[in-house]
Amino acid sequence: MRPKSVSLFSALACLVVVPAAAHAAPFDPEAATQAYLATLKGAARAQSDAYFEGGYWLLLWGTLAAVFADFILLRTGLSARFRNWAERVTKRRFVQSMLYGVPYVIISSTILVPWTIYTGYVREKQYGLLTQGFGDWAGEQAILLVLNIIAFSLIIALVMNGIRRSPKRWWLWGTGMAALTMVFFIMIAPVFINPLFNTYTELAPGPVRDRIVGMAQSRGIPANHIYVFDQSKQHKRISANVAGIGPTIRISLNDNLLKRTTLSETAAVMGHEMGHYVLNHSLRLAIGFGLVFGFCFWIASLVVPGIVARWGAGWGIRGIDDVAAWPVYSIVITILILAMTPVKNTLIRSQESEADAFGLDVAREPDGFAQAAMQLSEYRKIEPGPVEEFLFYDHPSGRTRVRMSMEWKARHLADPRPK
């Protein structure tokens, strides 16, 4: 009897204890991460991997295409002819360099039209990532062309001016100019550039706005204006951003985020964007990129004189301070920028990771952030190897983000939920 009653008791205890034990089992961040990752599988995962991995090759081919366009301008003597034309228009060398930028951008962009259409339109359509028709897409490319003409005219004139003043130390001057030019464009972007492509409206009152304002106020972020922009006319990706510097800084979210995510996900994403704002990422990035450009300019200052001495005369170039030599600088800098891809990506990715951590603390929505990370994996390979992530990712991968969220959740299981 006794053994039987013990076993009966044990069986009963098991019935009671087993569910209780399962309930009290420690939350395992890795198991929770795997559960999320398993929701992206089959054809959808293969497509996202293929799209993103194809992008690695596009980096290389894109660089080769740009180098090819510059080389054509040199080899055909077009670069020298652009300079001659600018010299006929004005005697002022700074303005000559600016004028040179106009045909330079137009003709090199024209050479690259097939490449731009393939990467920007055809390929995006193939993967179902673009909602725009060709006419609308091409119209935006025309606006971008005008912006490029303005930006490049300014950049070429500033760099060539530096080279004329100090043929050996111009790269130092160029570094400062590059950082300042970037700050300038980041600052004017929310007011003068972004509205050329999308309509920005105030986020309507309601639970989403209340939640965002509450989060912003908890961190002392001004939240008088929160903007929504109509990005669904271009594509269906969820996105939000912090744009501007100083007086123009603002947080915006796209309409896809509002339509395609729950309040938890929206709050998690907006917490991330607030991290960019509070941690001054726009300014820090401009300085970091200024240094990257400085390094590229320094190497160019060492390499270009040799190339111009060897082949310059044949291309109609008079010397290293002749604006007709710009495509030579451009070729060297374009190749260097490709080589600097991991540095550039790591600069951005480390900021993104900081913003992820900030966002989890402010929104307290680990599952919301994990779900948003899963959605972003529509176009970003979700589980790269560590070297792959270091080289090619300018944002943490879906796996890294889900794992960070689940670790945050494990540390805060006992906390009360946000109001």
The distance of closest approach from Cβ of residue 281 to Zn ion in the complex, given in angstroms and rounded to an integer, is 8
The distance of closest approach from Cβ of residue 158 to Zn ion in the complex, given in angstroms and rounded to an integer, is 29
The distance of closest approach from Cβ of residue 355 to Zn ion in the complex, given in angstroms and rounded to an integer, is 5
Binding mask 132-171 for Zn ion (x = CB under 5 A): ----------------------------------------
Residue among 102 and 279 whose Cβ is closer to Zn ion: 279
Window 355 to 384, contacts with Zn ion (CB under 5 A)? 355
117: left (phi over 0), alpha (psi -120 to 50) or beta: alpha
Q: What does the alpha-carbon distance between residue 87 and residue 81 come to, in Å, rounded to a whole number? A: 10
Count residues contacting Zn ion (CB under 5 A)?
A: 2
Are 225 and 175 in contact by the 8 Å Cβ rule? The answer is no
Residue among 322 and 352 whose Cβ is closer to Zn ion: 352
Residue among 352 and 378 whose Cβ is closer to Zn ion: 352
The distance of closest approach from Cβ of residue 325 to Zn ion in the complex, given in angstroms and rounded to an integer, is 38
Residue among 296 and 355 whose Cβ is closer to Zn ion: 355
Q: Phi/psi of residue 395, each to 5°? A: -135, 155
The distance of closest approach from Cβ of residue 70 to Zn ion in the complex, given in angstroms and rounded to an integer, is 32
Q: Dihedral of CA 136/142/143/147: which sign?
A: positive
Task: Please count the CA atoms within 13 angstroms of the CA of 92 that sit on its side-chain side.
Answer: 5
Are 86 and 350 in contact by the 8 Å Cβ rule? The answer is no
The distance of closest approach from Cβ of residue 356 to Zn ion in the complex, given in angstroms and rounded to an integer, is 8
What count of other Cβ atoms lies within 10 Å of the Cβ of residue 410?
A: 15
Nearest to 301, CA basis, from 337, 332, 344, 258: 332
The distance of closest approach from Cβ of residue 373 to Zn ion in the complex, given in angstroms and rounded to an integer, is 12
Nearest to 252, CA basis, from 215, 270, 227, 235: 227
The structure tokens 């951003």 sit at 241
Residue among 160 and 372 whose Cβ is closer to Zn ion: 372
The alpha carbons of the chain give a radius of gyration, in whole angstroms, of: 27
Residue among 82 and 229 whose Cβ is closer to Zn ion: 229
Strands (E), 145-234: 200-202, 227-229
Query: According to DSSP H, which parts of 319-413 are helical?
Result: 326-339, 341-363, 366-376, 386-392, 398-411
Residue among 286 and 355 whose Cβ is closer to Zn ion: 355
The distance of closest approach from Cβ of residue 404 to Zn ion in the complex, given in angstroms and rounded to an integer, is 13
Binding mask 330-359 for Zn ion (x = CB under 5 A): ----------------------x--x----
Three-class secondary structure of residue 235 per DSSP: strand
Instruction: Find all residues with CB under 8 Å of 216, minimum gap 6, and list them.
Output: 222, 223, 251, 274
Task: List residues binding Zn ion (CB under 5 A).
Answer: 352, 355
